[in-house]
Amino acid sequence: MRHYLVPWALTDAPMGRNILEIGPGTGAATQALVEHGFRVTCVEVNASLARALARRMVGKNVSVLTGDASALCFRNATFDGAVCFDMLHHLSSPERQNSVLGEVARVLRPGGVIAGTDSVSGLLFRALHLFDRTTIVDPRQLPQRLSTAGFSAIEIDVHPAAFRFTARRVA
């Protein structure tokens, strides 16, 4: 995460300083974001993961909230940028994914950037998620979904096991 996914996702993605991280999980990306000098606000749906991450991030430029990313508690245009790393496929449906993308667009300032990664479906991915509920994100359909959520200047970069995306909130 720290040496590959985060730098890959942030390539050519001007994030600003105040960013939102959706679904940080254990915080592997959060630590890398802090090291890049960002002020990070994390929203994690799993209360025990959020508490553990908050304890680990004490004294760092990180706030951790327990919450549902499809109903964010922030005002419109609060953040300069937003990130999500390998978490969209954990949401229960494409509609839920779209709801999260729409909420992220709402809380980004005009021109703010979302950047992220997710996995490409394959044998290893299916084996790792054998007993998980997953909703695969098709990178070929993601541009339309991001556009509908309120983003433009959408870029998708697909590799064999993963893809990255960036988009700007429409002004």
Give the domain range for residue 74: 5-169
Residue pair 65/43 in contact by the 8 Å Cβ criterion:
yes
Sign of CA dihedral 145, 24, 44, 130: positive
Return the bridge partners of 156, or none: 165
CA angle 162, 62, 32 (to 5 degrees): 35
**What's the structural domain count of the chain?**
1
Q: In what order do the strands lie in the sheet with 18-22?
A: 62-66, 39-44, 18-22, 79-85, 108-119, 162-169, 151-158
Q: How far apart (Å, rounded) are the C-alpha atoms in residues 171 and 169?
A: 6
Q: Does residue 23 carry a pLDDT above 70?
A: yes
The one-letter code for the residue type at 125 is F
Per residue in 58-116, pLDDT tens? 999 999 999 999 999 999 999 999 999 999 988 989 999 999 999 999 999 999 999 99
Q: What is the pTM of this model?
A: 0.92
Per residue in 123-157, pLDDT tens? 665 556 556 777 789 999 999 999 999 999 999 99
CATH classification of the domain holding 95: 3.40.50.150
